[in-house]
Amino acid sequence: MWTFDAFPTQRMRSDFGWAPDQAWLDRARLAAVRLTGGCSASFVSAEGLILTNQHCVAECLSDLSTPGNDLLAKGYVATRRSDERQCPGQQAEIVTGIRDVTGQMKQAIGAATGEAAVKARTAAIATIEKATCPDTVTSRCQVVSLYGGGQYKLYSYRKYSDVRIAWAPEDAASKFGGDPDNYNFPRYALDGAFLRAYENGRPVATPQHLRWAAREPVAGEPVFVVGNPGSTQRMLTMSQFAYQREVNLPVTLAMQSELRGRLIEAMGVDAERKREATDVLYGVENNLKRTIGRVKALNDSGFYASLAAREAELKAKSAGNAAIGDPWSEVATAMAALGAIDTQRRFSQPEGELFDYALALVRAAQERAKPNADRLPGYSDSALPLLEKNLLDPKPIAPWLEQLTMRFSLSKAREYLGADHPQTRLLLGRESPEGLAERLVEGTRLADPAVRRALWNGGEAAIAGSADPMIVYARAVEANDRRLQKIYDEQVDGPLTAARAKLADARFAAYGDSVYPDATFSLRITYGKVGGWTENGAAVPHRTTFAGAFDRATGAEPFALAPAFLANKAKLKLEGAFDMAYATDTIGGNSGSPVIDRNLNVIGANFDRNIHGLRNDYAYDMTMARSIGVTTAALEQALRFIYPAPALLKELHAR
- Kindly report, residue by residue over 5-37, the tens digit of the pLDDT: 999 999 999 999 999 999 999 999 999 999 999
Q: What is the largest CA-CA distance in the chain?
A: 72
pTM, full prediction: 0.96
Angle, helices 271-298 vs 301-318, to 10°: value is: 60
- pLDDT category of residue 331 using cuts at 50, 70 and 90: very high
Using DSSP's 3-state secondary structure scheme, residue 454 falls into helix
| Helical (H) or strand (E) element with 152 | strand 151-160
For residue 514, pLDDT beyond 90? no
**Across 292-301, 403-412, 508-517, 630-639, least confident range:** 508-517
Sequence-distant (6+) residues with CB within 8 A of 163 are 35, 50, 86, 87, 90, 91, 92, 195, 196, 197, 198
49-103 tens-digit pLDDT: 999 999 999 999 999 999 999 999 999 999 999 999 999 999 999 999 999 999 9
**Across 401-410, 508-517, 583-592, least confident range:** 508-517
Work out the average pLDDT over 173-189: 96
d(CA 519, CA 241): 17
pLDDT for the residue numbered 332: 98
What's the mean per-residue pLDDT of the chain? Answer: 97
d(CA 572, CA 580): 18
Q: From its phi and psi, is residue 200 left (phi > 0), alpha (psi between -120 and 50) or beta?
A: left
pLDDT for the residue numbered 513: 81
* Percent of the chain predicted with pLDDT > 90: 98
Is the preceding peptide bond at 469 cis, omega within 30 degrees of 0? no
- Per DSSP, helices labelled H in 65-191 are 71-74, 102-109, 114-132, 171-174, 178-181
pLDDT for the residue numbered 492: 98
214-266 tens-digit pLDDT: 999 999 999 999 999 999 999 999 999 999 999 999 999 999 999 999 999 99
For residue 655, pLDDT beyond 80? no
Question: DSSP labels for 163-214?
Answer: EEEEEE--HHHHTTTHHHHTT-SS------EEEEEEETTEEPP--S-PEE--
614-630 tens-digit pLDDT: 999 999 999 999 999 99
d(CA 282, CA 163): 23
* Percent of the chain predicted with pLDDT > 70: 100
Indicate the residue type of 370.
Answer: K
Sequence-distant (6+) residues with CB within 8 A of 623 are 533
Name 631's bridge partners: 604
Work out the average pLDDT over 427-443: 98
- pLDDT category of residue 297 using cuts at 50, 70 and 90: very high
- Per DSSP, helices labelled H in 591-645 are 632-637
d(CA 359, CA 567): 48
